Amino acid sequence: MARNGVSFITGAQLLSLRRRPNIAVIDVRDEERSYDGHIPGSLHFASDSFSDKISDLIQTVKQKDTLVFHCALSQVRGPTCARRLASYLEEVKEDVGIKDILVLERGFNGWESSGRPVCRCTDIPCKAHNL
């Protein structure tokens, strides 16, 4: 489902794709990631510095063709960062292998309230297995 130029994926859909090695989950929450936990295996690129770190993100997700962004509710920060990356990729016109940029519907809060796995490690990056 697309809203504001961004396609959304449900938590159930993301869980069903979790075994695929080509997916990266990008958490763009700011400091709340440190105390609320996170989706296991997700990468952290805080929204407040996201634009400055886009090239780092692209390097980090080499070998991935699907990126799933989220923030707490995926209403503002998640979709905004997803659109920023999409715009950046259009501007540089370089094929970095990213085919799908999605946003997790209901964000981390929806993920956690549905009883899906949450990791509370402080490792950067999270070494837990994806999802």
| CATH number reported for the structural domain that contains residue 23 in this entry | 3.40.250.10
> Is 83 part of a structural domain of the chain?
yes
The answer as to whether 123 is a domain residue is no
**Into how many domains does the chain fold?**
1
**pLDDT of 131 above 70:** no
| Residue 22 maps to a domain | yes
* Stated pTM of the model: 0.92
CB 69 within 8 A of CB 79: yes
Q: How far apart are CA 63 and CA 66, in angstroms?
A: 10
Residue tagged active-site, from 71, 119, 121, 126: 71
For 6-126, list the strands marked E by DSSP.
6-9, 23-27, 43-44, 66-70, 100-104
Residue 128 lies in a domain: no
- When pLDDT is cut at 50, 70 and 90, the band that residue 4 belongs to is low
pLDDT (tens digit per residue) in 40-99 = 999 999 999 999 999 999 999 998 999 999 999 999 999 999 999 999 999 987 788 999
Q: Which domain holds residue 44?
A: 7-114
- pLDDT at site 6: 80
Residue recorded with tokens 């996170």: 38
Q: Is residue 127 part of a domain?
A: no
* Residue 35 belongs to a domain: yes
Q: Does residue 5 register a pLDDT over 80?
A: no
CB 82 within 8 A of CB 116: no
Active site residue 71: yes
Q: Give 23-54 pLDDT, tens digit per residue.
A: 999 999 998 887 789 999 999 999 999 999 99
